[in-house]
Amino acid sequence: MTPLRLGMVGGGPGSFIGPVHRMAAELDGRIRLVAGAFSRDAARSRAAAAGYGLAPERGYAGWRELLAAEAGRPDGIELLAVAAPNALHFPVCRAAAEAGIPVLCDKPATATLDEALALRRILRRTGTAYGLTYTYSGYPMVRAARDLVRAGRLGRLRKLVVDYSQGWLAEAVERTGNAQARWRTDPAQAGAGGCIGDIGTHAFHLAEFVTGERVAALCAQLTSVVPGRRLDDDCNILLRFAGGMPGVLIASQVAAGARNGLRLRVWGERGGLDWSHETPDRLLFEPLDGPAELRHAAGPRLPAGHPEGYIEAFATLYRDVADALAAGRPAPDVPGIEDGVRGMAFIAAAVAGNGAGWVPLAVPDEAEETP
């Protein structure tokens, strides 16, 4: 199966989400990053391309160049990832849609509602495929939560609380060189929403995704807690769903000390669900009566029992090996043959001494081995 060829807009030097797009896109071997407009600076974009292992000439200085040049290649991109600030979402997605290139775009969809409506019209007209990286809906236990709701295990839904607390904007880091913070707190690049646009929308989508219900009205308290900040950095919102269900959405980027604490709780007539991003492979279902059910993900890539992150730990060993080979030196953190010998000596001692009490664990030193 030949992988789909992926292009990217954004994700250049200093970007957090660009490398994540690349890793995520390629993880299952179905998609391969081949080109990108990683920076508006031509040299930086070419360097970024090389850093991603791509031909430097496929690192373009702008998204228009990217779309134009790739359209002319027989091996041009077949899918576009948009990992640029919000203000770019609309023009890039519009152009890609007009060109018939499927898009996977970061949230929020656009900088304004009007842009989103316009994009919807364009997508309907062109029929181009389009997706948004509301990432949390990709967790197996988030989907399992939705399936429990759909299957009626909770009965009619009655209440929802979704809470997303971060602390990385607790100080005015946008004024001390944090590029991520700078554009997110700048209305020209982020749009009208700060915290509400950046993570409030994640929480909002998660709530509607799992429940299948739609928010009909809301009552918002948005605050700019850090002095001088131009967009909200803290949100507390009462929700009313179409069927009358009450709810609460809480989001903060000034919850000092918090990391990325997204949690969703939903209660229905017959029980409640609780999912937390801190332990994403668990889902708690508490029925009206009887013991709570603690469900564990058997993820799509690993058998039950290997928590999410296992692949990343494994990858760290490989990265260490690649680093060491590139540098022509050993990989000190990667277990080696001494570890291997010790492991075998451990097995041998345990098996030989099983039930017999204490035995030494003696590992022959090579110098002592008889030739």
Residues 7-26 close enough to bind a second copy by CB under 8 A: 16, 19-26
- x/- binding map, residues 138-177, to a second copy, per CB under 8 A? xxx--x----------xx--xx-x-x-xxxx-xx------
Per CB under 8 A, which of residues 310..329 are in contact with a second copy?
310-326
* Mode of pairing for the β-strands spanning 234-241 and 215-223: antiparallel
Give the Cα separation of 258 and 358 in Å (integer): 48
Shortest separation between residue 75's beta carbon and a second copy, angstroms: 15
- Stretch binding a second copy (CB under 8 A), from 7-15, 36-44, 64-72, 284-292: 284-292
**Per CB under 8 A, 232 contacts a second copy:** yes
Residues 6+ apart with CB under 8 A from 169: 181, 184, 185, 195, 226, 229, 233, 253, 254
Q: Which long-range contacts (CB under 8 A, 24 or more apart) does 87-92 make?
A: 87/111, 87/188, 87/189, 87/190, 87/191, 88/9, 88/10, 88/63, 89/115, 90/115, 90/116, 90/118, 90/119, 91/63, 92/9, 92/63
Given 43, 71, 117, 188, the residue binding a second copy (CB under 8 A):
117
Name which of 10 and 268 has its Cβ closer to a second copy: 268
Q: What is the dihedral of CA 53, 58, 63, 64, to 10 degrees?
A: -170
Is 305 among the residues that bind a second copy (CB under 8 A)? yes
| 347 is a site residue for a second copy (CB under 8 A) | yes
What distance, in Å, lies between the first and last C-alpha atoms of the chain? Answer: 50
Tell me which residues in 34-53 interact with a second copy (CB under 8 A): 50-53
Q: How far apart are CA 77 and CA 68, in angstroms?
A: 11
Among 40, 212, 216, 230, binds a second copy (CB under 8 A): 216
Among 5, 10, 27, 44, binds a second copy (CB under 8 A): 27
CA dist., res. 103 & res. 320, Å (int) = 34
List the interface residues with a second copy, window 243-282 (CB under 8 A).
Answer: 246-248, 250, 252, 254-260, 265, 267-272, 277-281
CB of 342 to a second copy, least distance (A): 7
For a second copy, which residue of 72, 176, 327, 358 counts as binding (CB under 8 A)? 358
Phi, psi of 319 (to 5 degrees): -65, -40
Examine residue 338 and tell whether it contacts a second copy (CB under 8 A). yes
Contact of 264 with 210, CB cutoff 8 Å: yes
Between 65 and 246, name the residue whose CB sits nearer to a second copy: 246
Q: Does residue 188 interact with a second copy by CB under 8 A?
A: no
Q: How far is the CB of 41 from a second copy (least distance, A)?
A: 20
Q: How far apart are CA 174 and CA 181, in angstroms?
A: 5
